[in-house]
Amino acid sequence: MPFITTKDKTEIFYKDWGNLAGKPVVFSHGWPLNSDNWENQMFFLASKGYRCIAHDRRGHGQYLDLKDVMMVGHSTGGGEVIRFLGRHGTSRVSRAVIVGAIPPVMVLKESNPKGLPIEVFDGFRTAMVKDRAQFFLDVPIGPFFGFNRPGAKISQGLIQSWWQQGMMCGFKGAYDCIKVFSETDMTEDLKKIDIPVLILHGTDDQIVPIDASAREGIRLLQKGTLKEYPDGPHALPNICIEEVNQDLLTFLES
């Protein structure tokens, strides 16, 4: 299996699917999951001739020498994409897509009146310490996939997959990441990005509410496009597979 070794000797696992000579698409997963959560999109785009690469974030499970990349991030992974571009620029990246993503910032504060109270994230931490295994069932059974909504078509397979991926994440990494994804402010990062950025977000996202994220972030991007999925949940790549796949392909080919 392929790994990249970082400067501090950490080994980062990654998947590399599709045409090695094709245009690269780099995927960044959400919390507390891993690269497996992108398998539907990677399989689809690889079948279209693209090179699809997804890594397991440090603690969850450097990119290769790539150029003309399209970066794709979901949830916390969307924040990872935005922070990367804000820090390192866009010389190697041609476009980016963030899906149900956390930027600009999630937590409620004076400069972010639409954010979620810190007590929400304190509740995550308390639930993890009390019984992580049960908490990691409660999240996918309920708000992550929107399975708590009336009439939702519940998939036990998705619930079990989320739980399995989450339990593979190191406890400390998962716990510490709650502070990172809730409190990191990427306002200035968004302003710096000078490439086209597509934002996909569900209007019924119960994890990252759209008003404080996508609808704020689009105002900060130089070349941003926002597509809202009516009544869409947080887990768009898992629930709205065909539509997300087509949106990614159309953006790649535009």
CB 73 within 8 A of CB 38: no
* Confidence band for 7, pLDDT divided at 50, 70 and 90: confident
- Cβ atoms 199, 228 nearer than 8 A: no
Residue 75: active-site member: yes
pLDDT in tens, 79-109: 999 999 999 999 999 999 999 999 999 999 9
How far apart, in whole angstroms, are the C-alpha atoms of residue 21 and residue 113? 46
CA dihedral (149, 212, 189, 169) positive or negative: negative
* Residue among 55, 74, 201, 234 flagged as catalytic: 234
Higher-pLDDT residue of 106, 35: 106
Q: Could you say which of 75, 182, 213, 247 is catalytic?
A: 75
C-alpha dihedral, 147 to 153 to 157 to 163, nearest 10°: 0
Helix pair 118-141, 156-168: axis angle to 10 deg: 130
CB 206 within 8 A of CB 215: no
CA 251 to chain centre: 17
Q: Is 205 a catalytic residue?
A: yes
For 150, list phi and psi in degrees, rounded to 5: -55, 135
Q: How far apart are CA 234 and CA 231, in angstroms?
A: 10
For 126-232, list the strands marked E by DSSP: 197-202, 224-229
pLDDT at 66 over 60: yes
% residues pLDDT > 70 (the chain):
94
Q: Compute CA 224 distance to the chain's CA centroid, rounded to the nearest angstrom.
A: 17
**180 has a pLDDT exceeding 60:** yes
Average pLDDT over residues 24-48: 94
Specify which residues 51 forms β-bridges with: 18, 24
∠ Cα 96 6 62 (to 5°): 10
111 is catalytic: no
pLDDT at residue 55 in the model: 86
Domains of the chain: 3-109+179-253 (3.40.50.1820)
Q: Which helix (H) or strand (E) holds 236?
A: helix 236-239
Q: Residue 61: pLDDT band by 50, 70, 90 thresholds?
A: very low
Distances (CA, A) of 166 to 37, 40, 136, 188: 11, 18, 7, 30
